[in-house]
Amino acid sequence: MRITLVKKVLADGSLCAKCKDVEQKLKENDQEQYLDQVLIADERDPQSPGMQLAQSLQVQRAPFFVVEKEGEEPQVYTVYFKFAKEVLKGLQ
């Protein structure tokens, strides 16, 4: 299984508020270790890796998690609590 977190950087260069909240929850719960990759969706750069992934998966909200399992379609989670319950709980 591979887990990717996509965080958004706003046009003014700051991290979106929800992204900060989710990042804090991941740290508090010692869950950062389960992330394989963190990508930035930079509003100032449509070619940034996070923006490209969001576009390819048709995701409009950030932050979001992409869970890839071999032989399965990637699963997208736009809600931290659902992601934590359905994915991270089984890893801890």
- Record the pTM: 0.94
Structure tokens that stand for 66 in this block: 């992409």
What are the pLDDT digits (tens) for 17-29? Answer: 999 999 999 999 9
Q: DSSP letters of the chain?
A: -EEEEEEEE-TTSPBPHHHHHHHHHHHHTT-GGG-SEEEEEETT-TTSHHHHHHHHHT--SSSEEEEE-TTSPPEEE--HHHHHHHTGGGT-
Average pLDDT over residues 22-49: 96
User: Is 92's pLDDT higher than 80?
Assistant: no
- The pLDDT of 71-78, averaged and rounded, is 96
Whether residue 5 has pLDDT greater than 90: yes
Q: Is the dihedral of CA 85, 87, 88, 89 positive or negative?
A: positive
